[in-house]
Amino acid sequence: MSFSIITTVLNGEKFIEHCINSVEKQSYSKNIEHIIVDGGSSDKTLTILKRLSRTNNKLKIIEKKNINIYQGINIGIHKSKNKIIGILNSDDFYANEKVLDSVDREFQNNREVYAVHSNVIIFRRNNLNKIFRIYKSKNHMPDDYMKCKHPPHTSIFVKKEIYEKFGNFNEELKIASDFEFMLRVFGKNSIKTKFVDKTFVHMRSHGSSSRNLNNIILSNYEVIKSFKINNIKISYFQLMLKILSKIKQIRLI
């Protein structure tokens, strides 16, 4: 297998180097490219990227102003050259140096599988010693997506042929385009995935609990829109359970 890791960034000077280093340090010995799509950073992000690119031959830097995160991801997918695509946020990082080895092994052992995903641990933004939330996943069936259940998108590695067949991320959606993609591909079209009960990705929280609660509410407006786009009837009861579950997880940790 070969990997294209896509990271979009805008003014990410604080954490982007940690993100890049976690990819560079992967022990996987075959082909890896790390595509960084910068959306017009005005801080020191580009300076950091250019410095790192002098010694990191995995890095490919694309500058494209005035784009949102999903436009950036789609640009990265279009430019990617490898068979497996992973998406890593600019303030997140791989849990250990064996992540890509583990993903490769799962694809090699499960030829009928087109995507692999895992659990995710979310840490306090400025304190990696304090867990904010643990995102436990499972083996999802197509019907789970119809019930608004889905794996953490940051942990998913997808074969590029899936994007080529079913399309990229919907750029009209600003928060929940990842859900719409999973609903369309893994739910509506029943593409087979494999859950690995490990943690592939460590995330940083995005600010205060109130901000996270606001994002949960806003994202679910787009979840409703995702069902309409795909002509699928939504269960509002299941959607409410999903919202309450996320709120409960945040409060308990």
Residue pLDDT, tens place only, 77-133: 999 999 999 999 999 999 999 999 999 999 999 999 999 999 999 999 999 999 988
**For residue 252, is pLDDT > 70?**
no
Residue pLDDT, tens place only, 15-28: 999 999 999 999 99
Residue whose pair of structure tokens reads 């490990």 in the numeric block: 198
Q: According to the model, what pLDDT value does residue 246 have? A: 62
Q: According to the model, what pLDDT value does residue 120 have? A: 96
Residues forming a β-bridge with 106: none
3-class state of residue 45 by DSSP:
helix
Q: According to the model, what pLDDT value does residue 245 have? A: 65
Share of the chain above pLDDT 90, in %: 78
Query: By C-alpha distance, which of 9, 40, 170, 154 is closest to 95?
Result: 154
Residue pLDDT, tens place only, 160-213: 999 999 999 999 998 899 999 999 999 999 999 999 999 999 999 875 444 566
0.85 surpassed by pTM = yes
| Domains along the sequence of the chain with CATH | 1-94 (3.90.550.10), 112-150+169-253 (no CATH)
Residue pLDDT, tens place only, 14-69: 999 999 999 999 999 889 999 999 999 999 999 999 999 999 999 999 999 999 99
Q: According to the model, what pLDDT value does residue 240 have? A: 78
Report the C-alpha gap between 144 and 161 in whole angstroms: 23
Q: According to the model, what pLDDT value does residue 206 have? A: 75
**For residue 238, is pLDDT > 80?**
no
Q: Are 162 and 188 in contact (CB under 8 A)?
A: no
What is the residue-wise DSSP string for 92-131?
A: -EESSTTHHHHHHHHHHH-TT--EEEEEEEEEETTEEEEE
Query: By C-alpha distance, which of 134, 111, 108 is closest to 123?
Result: 134
Report the C-alpha gap between 65 and 84 in whole angstroms: 26
Q: According to the model, what pLDDT value does residue 221 have? A: 87
